[in-house]
Structure 1
Amino acid sequence: MLELLRKIVQEVSTAPDVDAVLDLIVRRIQRGMCTEVCSVFLFESVSQRYVLRASQGLNREAVGRVSLSSSEGIVGLVAQRAEPINLEDAEAHPAFCYLQDTGEERFHAFLGVPIIHQKKVLGVLVVQQQECRRFDESEEAFLITISAQLAGVIAHAEATGAIQKISWKSQKSVNHRFEGVPGAPGVAIGRVVVIAPQADIDSVPEKEITDLALEISRFETALERVRADIRKVSAKLAKRLRYDEQALFDVYLKMLDDNALAGEVVEQIKQGNWAQGALSRVITTNARQFSLMDDPYLRERATDVRDLGRRVLGYLQEESSSQDIELPENGILVADELSPAILGEVSAEKLAGLVSVHGSGNSHAAILARSMGIPTVMGMVDLPYRQLDGREVILDGYAGRLYIDPSEDLLRVYREILREQDEVAAELATLRDLPAVTTDGKHIPLWVNTGLIADVSRSLERGAEGIGLYRTEIPFMVRDFFPSEYEQMQIYRRQLEAFAPLPVTMRTLDIGGDKALPYFPIKEDNPFLGWRGIRVTLDHPEIFLVQIRAMLRANEGLGNLRIMLPMVSSVHEVDEANNLLDRAIAELQEEGYIIERPSVGVMIEVPAAVYQLRRFAKRVDFISVGSNDLTQYLLAVDRNNPRVADLYVAYHPAVLMVLAYIAKEARRVGIQVSICGEMASEPGGALLLMAMGYDALSMNATNLPKIKSTIRSVSMKQAAELLDMVMGMDDAVKVQVVMTQALQALGISQLSSPVLPEEVLPQ
């Protein structure tokens, strides 16, 4: 059964559309379980009925014609209860409903299990037999397992099928809506540009082209380079291989003949698909056909086909990678997984929005997008992005939605939201030179989180009073090797000079987790609990010392540098880092530099650090809470995983209690405490944090004017009353409701997400 399950999952993942997926499922299960019938009923939202979409054993003509409501038949009962039903004789059950023209009257034994994806019942998977018997426990367990495994595949196939029904040239407005996780607030209207991973044959987007001859020429050039590679390897190994083994290279070359794969690709290009898309379609189709064969030798040829496809694709991508990513005006960038490196390669002037198939709203890519002020949606796992290149879309970063081919009514709604956004932004811009002071005179310094060079001017334009977090890993991530001490010094000097004499807090290299360096890969099963932050740099003192020296040299004559240590969990790490810092200072002074010891602080982002705050206070000058990671570790929620994104809640009572405890402890020992997590970027969160007693709030530059307006609209007394109210609550949802109501009562609700007129939005 396990082998059958593995085989089914592998095969359906490469099926071209939902009908192919369902047909494959019913055939494989019917044969594998030795049953006489296997059928799939899927829910159709338009008719609100469960339609027979595939069957092996029932009358084929009934497929697509027979349907049941959720209150009809045993199938409807399975869907309604969202649990399996196993019957010896289905006709004897009170819910039995005879489906005419299916031929099911011959079958008595019935086992139906729901197909559930993200708490939603997509349909029902059914097996039936003529004899009266109950399916045994192992059969029921298998069908439940296969249903759970296939739910996501079916959901994705349905979504892909919906998009594929519209051709490239279609001008039809259909308002296809896809749900993800909000990454960065805002709305964008534009056209999609898809970025595919390198040499991934399954992720190539489809694009329409007009110059067929040029595209065919590119393909044939890549093809000839692969042929040359194969001939070269064949000649090199000629003396070491037997004749039959050597003949395999001839098989590969024949696969690339014009009468084989190459010819099929050219035909696809002639139909208007670009070379990479045509290659992807031909390779996946042929590989799937081989994988379905019963003969083991032929089945293994699927691997050969995919390998050849990857080789050709590599050369095609090598040619196009020399060009920059071209964006149209108001381009919406869609990627399988966004990274800081991708953001560094695109023109910010033309970039209107970002969509990532994987990742969550708390990943570092999303945090950078918020810093850049680019509306972003993350975790769109069911988005058939390969079909979207060039399509007009609406991106809603507030609700985490993407609308494909929007109607005029929908465009009108979102254009109005864009206009209102611009009005609010213009109004907030007038606050630039005003301090963040409450109505009763309390000043709350507002700092910014930076990482890109462009963040500097953006931050100063919005009236930032310093940098609370400079992510030094960003310059490391956009290079092909470790930057030298001199290169780092120049980068850091620009940040320090731009803000002098205001404080600039530089976090030492924080890699690991979801921040990887291409030239220093860290492979771990559980990276967020692994080798990251200060753990990496203390294990590599040569990296730490070069960075510290660069920071100290950049600070010469300015004196506004603060150094912050990430992912600290013990005093031993702080002591070791301090010793290395003293060593770097001594070395530079010996070399003739005029160096003073800067302020040093630690990030409180690991639960263990929370309860050692007093011990840290004896060794450092300040502390800063990284609420993003602290929330992740407190709630045991991977912040990059969209499946559990709804469990990552900043207003969780445990998070609020810990944040209040840290501020209280810092006051007791008399050490400055700031916070640089995303919670400070949200009006409600900022009110609670300043009431807790945080000395400074650090946030992305985009949200700074909004937070300044929030602070200038309230008194410390009002913020304290709000904090008292929520600290007595035991549920994050209730806290969110109270916070929303409080912002409305204070007259600052316009600073949070806009309310969308649901009556014009497609459901």
Structure 2
Amino acid sequence: MPLSAASSAREILTGLHEIMAARGTPQSKLDRVVDLIATALRSEVCSIYLLRDHVLELWATHGLRKEAVHVTRLEMGQGLVGVIAEEGRVLNLAEAAEHPQFVYRPETGEERYHSFAGVPIIRRESTIGTLAVQHAEPRRYADVEIEALQTVAMVLAELIAAARLTDGVGRRRARSSGMVRLAGLKLVSGMARGVAVFHQPRVVVEHTVAEDTEAERARVYAAFRRMREQIENMTRDAEFGTAGEHREILETYKMFAYDEGWARRINEAIDSGLTAEAAIERVQQRTRARMQEIDDPLLKERMHDLEDLANRLLRIVSGRMGTAAQTGLAKDAILIARNLGPAELLEYDRRRLKGVVLEEGSLTSHMVIVARALGIPVLGRVQDIRHLADEGDVILLDGDQGSLAVRPTGHMISTFEQRMTMSQRRRAEYAAIRGKPATTKDGLACQLMVNAGLAEDTAQLENSGADGIGLFRTEFQFLVAATLPGRESQYRLYRQVLDAAGDKPVVFRTVDIGGDKALPYLQDEKDESENPAMGWRALRLSLERSALMKAQARALIEAAGGRTLRVMFPMVSEPWEFDEAKQLFEKQIEWAVQAKRPTPAKIEYGCMLEVPSLAEVLDLLLPKLDFLSIGTNDLTQFLFAADRADPRLAQRYDWLSPAILRFLRRVIRQCREAGVPVRICGEMGGRPLEALALVGIGMESFSITPAAVGAIKAMIRSLDAGAARARLEQMLARPPRDFRRALLEWARKQEVVLG
């Protein structure tokens, strides 16, 4: 059935408008609706299933047996109709019976129909039913047909809600008046207390069918102009508006605001007969559907940015701009939102905004990058927080533990405040030793460096008293950019970092992308393997994409002009990989000399030991290295075959296992014998008890998160390294059953400060 999505949808919407305005029972109206849709789409079958008491019931049909109406029922997730309703997604099948969830209902007489397409009927972000069409001919439905169905389903939701025919899958849980504990994903660490403030009330689209298409189009154009003006102002006035990754984040955000494709899709929805609000919501529904199908967290984050803008546009066009940022924060607040964009976060008064809680959110979120720079704790993936908390409820947010309490008891508040006071006291103690050396009681000098990834992170060198940057993750610039960063952009970042570090060393790790850090603008580099952490990533990918690595090499070489450049290659498995990477850099130095470009006074090459195989050929590699860094995060999961992201394996992923400590001790000794400096990079070195064990097996250099420097320095200054090494030798020779507890008891007896 060849058709235009807009014209067919407009024809149906005009008829729906008349049906909704006419007199009659809800049943008679729905009977007329399915006839109307079937005729307009030239469909042999059109059926509407509505959700009542969590069961999908056939309410109206054109083409199936009428006696099946109110008789055929499907559970959520049962049959094709149930799958659509439960997952909120479209199904488009040439052979319906071949789908694994297909369920045959003989009373419907549908056995002669092969093709099937269905879309969810959504009201206020909840699925309340399913709209389906069927044909005897086996074929997939065209995109324009699906588009028309989705537009019609949106308007149907208004009719169904007005008639109160469904209870909806998204019925809110009754809010409790008592205390509620919730867990979430730690996005930005820290502790905060404040009252619950909702970022924005949801704009509910009440009127979907337009009476004057051109008037609706004019409203959207005006809203676009105002929204773009707001984004321009935020970009100009933002605290990060001059340089760094935050500038790039806002530029990416602005790029979406000026995206003509987005504006065109909204225009097309208006052409189909929708109001301005309904057109924006229709395109937003399509974005949400796409997000469900996307596995790539970075591309998903781009979709979140687009939805953030759609919410802003919807508020403008509906005249409901009263977000909490606009009305102002009267008290210390914990902001609650389904999701939050970086520009929206920057609108808040940072003196009052103490923390953020999201129902969604991810570690790669642009908003999280900004929040971390502002020092605002963020907890993500807190299910139903918007339904379990009321505006003004007291909330205790523990970003360190990944939990929060809503309406806490007086005892809980008192305990929480004591912990906050202790945390502040500890920070004061760490600040007092910031300028003192990380030297043990018996005189062993240790080196404490920090991990970084943003230009702004260099401020942590002075704040923490660190000795330098032991790991600068260059891929962060790639992850937050909308397009591949060019050599000039990379040069500016690396130069800025080196200038800010001054005389302190900076170790640049070449870009580690691929695997679970896929870039949407490099589509063919996405790792489709079942274990992306062990897939086509890091140096493996960079050696294949030599142009990408050459650009980075030239940027680093020029940025370090006249200074020492320290380069580290990630995920080296065999010596030849290091050789190829070093050779690539050496050739770029030759190019820079010939082109009369700035070159480093000296260049030091190192690599990361993350892949266990490298330990077996260290004797071949060490003579070529200026330094070695041990990446404990990946190394440990590879050694134990235990995915560190899987909570079921948490007890098996223990850094105080004799297996990992013996492995590390062997590597440390081998490096010492070869005269090659070795450093620990990763979370293991940032935990006081684990760092104690590392000192005990001979480690003297650490690169850790800036927040951990104070605690590790305090531990080192309270430790007798000789006693620790003697104790670790005993424990590794005859490991106790509970290694962690045994070491903890020894540390307490020795009065080691563990924070």
TM-score by length of 2: 0.60
Letter in 2 for 1:530: G
Query: 1:717 — aligned with what?
Result: 722
State the secondary structure of the residue aligned to 1:598: strand
Q: 2:511 aligns with which of 490, 509, 513?
A: 509
Q: 2:527 aligns with which of 524, 528, 539?
A: 524
State the secondary structure of the residue aligned to 1:188: strand
For 2:344 and 2:641, how far apart are their aligned partners in 1? 29
Greater Cα offset, 371-380 or 457-466: 371-380
Query: 1:457 — aligned with what?
Result: 459
State the secondary structure of the residue aligned to 1:611: helix
Alignment of 1:101-500 (within 5 A): 164-166=173-175, 174-180=178-184, 186-190=190-194, 207=201, 221=219, 253=273, 256=274, 315-316=310-311, 332=334, 352-353=354-355, 375=377, 377=379, 380=382, 382=383, 384=385, 392-500=394-502
Letter in 2 for 1:707: I
For 1:685 and 1:33, how far apart are their aligned partners in 2? 65
Query: 2:163 — aligned with what?
Result: none
- Cα deviations across residues 314-359 of structure 1 (Å, max 9, x unaligned)? 7445678999996968665778899999999999877644657679
Structure 2 residue runs of 5 or longer lacking an equivalent are 1-73, 90-100, 108-168, 225-260, 290-304
- Cα deviations across residues 426-483 of structure 1 (Å, max 9, x unaligned)? 1110101110000000000111111122221122222111111011112222222222
State the secondary structure of the residue aligned to 1:164: coil
Task: Give the total of aligned pairs.
Answer: 538
Q: 1:620 aligns with which of 609, 617, 625?
A: 625
- Cα deviations across residues 208-258 of structure 1 (Å, max 9, x unaligned)? 689999xx9999956999999679769xxxxxxxxxxxxxx99x64xx479
Retained in 1: the 8 A contact 2:519–2:526?
A: no
Retained in 2: the 8 A contact 1:181–1:645?
A: no
State the secondary structure of the residue aligned to 1:568: coil
Retained in 1: the 8 A contact 2:179–2:408?
A: yes
For 2:375 and 2:726, how far apart are their aligned partners in 1? 32
Letter in 1 for 2:582: N
Retained in 2: the 8 A contact 1:183–1:376?
A: yes
2:575 maps to 1:587: no
2:663 maps to 1:658: yes
For 2:588 and 2:698, how far apart are their aligned partners in 1? 35
Q: 1:510 to 1:495 in 2, by over 3 A?
A: same
- Cα deviations across residues 17-46 of structure 1 (Å, max 9, x unaligned)? xxxxxxxxxxx9999999xxxxxxxxxxxx
Retained in 1: the 8 A contact 2:628–2:676?
A: yes
Query: 1:550 — aligned with what?
Result: 555
Q: 1:682 aligns with which of 687, 705, 708?
A: 687
Shift of 1:165: 1.7
Q: 1:232 to 1:402 in 2, by over 3 A?
A: closer
- Cα deviations across residues 671-719 of structure 1 (Å, max 9, x unaligned)? 1110111111110111111222223111111110111010000111232
Q: 1:575 aligns with which of 556, 559, 579?
A: 579
2:715 maps to 1:745: no
For 1:349 and 1:370, how far apart are their aligned partners in 2? 15
Q: Which has the higher contact order (CA 8 A, sep 6+)?
A: 1
Shift of 1:662: 1.8
Letter in 1 for 2:745: Q
Q: 1:228 to 1:531 in 2, by over 3 A?
A: closer
For 1:406 and 1:520, how far apart are their aligned partners in 2? 47
For 1:630 and 1:529, how far apart are their aligned partners in 2? 11
State the secondary structure of the residue aligned to 2:634: helix
For 2:367 and 2:664, how far apart are their aligned partners in 1? 25
Retained in 2: the 8 A contact 1:185–1:376?
A: yes
State the secondary structure of the residue aligned to 1:612: helix
Query: 1:169 — aligned with what?
Result: none
State the secondary structure of the residue aligned to 1:564: strand
- Cα deviations across residues 149-171 of structure 1 (Å, max 9, x unaligned)? xxxxxxxxxx998x8323xxxxx
Percent identity for Structure 1 against Structure 2: 30
Q: 1:175 to 1:571 in 2, by over 3 A?
A: same
Q: 1:233 to 1:364 in 2, by over 3 A?
A: closer
State the secondary structure of the residue aligned to 1:505: strand
State the secondary structure of the residue aligned to 1:581: helix
2:567 maps to 1:563: yes
Q: 1:672 aligns with which of 666, 674, 677?
A: 677
Q: 1:581 to 1:396 in 2, by over 3 A?
A: same
For 1:384 and 1:182, how far apart are their aligned partners in 2? 15
Retained in 1: the 8 A contact 2:692–2:716?
A: yes
Shift of 1:538: 1.3
Q: 1:512 to 1:583 in 2, by over 3 A?
A: same
Letter in 2 for 1:207: P
- Cα deviations across residues 247-297 of structure 1 (Å, max 9, x unaligned)? xx99x64xx479xx95xx9xxxxxxxxx979997xx99xxxxxxxxxxxxx
Q: 1:437 to 1:664 in 2, by over 3 A?
A: same
TM-score by length of 1: 0.59
Q: 1:468 to 1:370 in 2, by over 3 A?
A: farther
Shift of 1:722: 4.2
Retained in 2: the 8 A contact 1:371–1:450?
A: no
- Cα deviations across residues 716-758 of structure 1 (Å, max 9, x unaligned)? 12322442355357689x233234434433435561xxxxxxx
State the secondary structure of the residue aligned to 1:618: helix
For 1:647 and 1:426, how far apart are their aligned partners in 2? 35
Query: 2:10 — aligned with what?
Result: none
Q: 1:374 to 1:228 in 2, by over 3 A?
A: closer
For 1:736 and 1:378, how far apart are their aligned partners in 2? 30
Shift of 1:508: 0.6
For 1:278 and 1:349, how far apart are their aligned partners in 2? 36
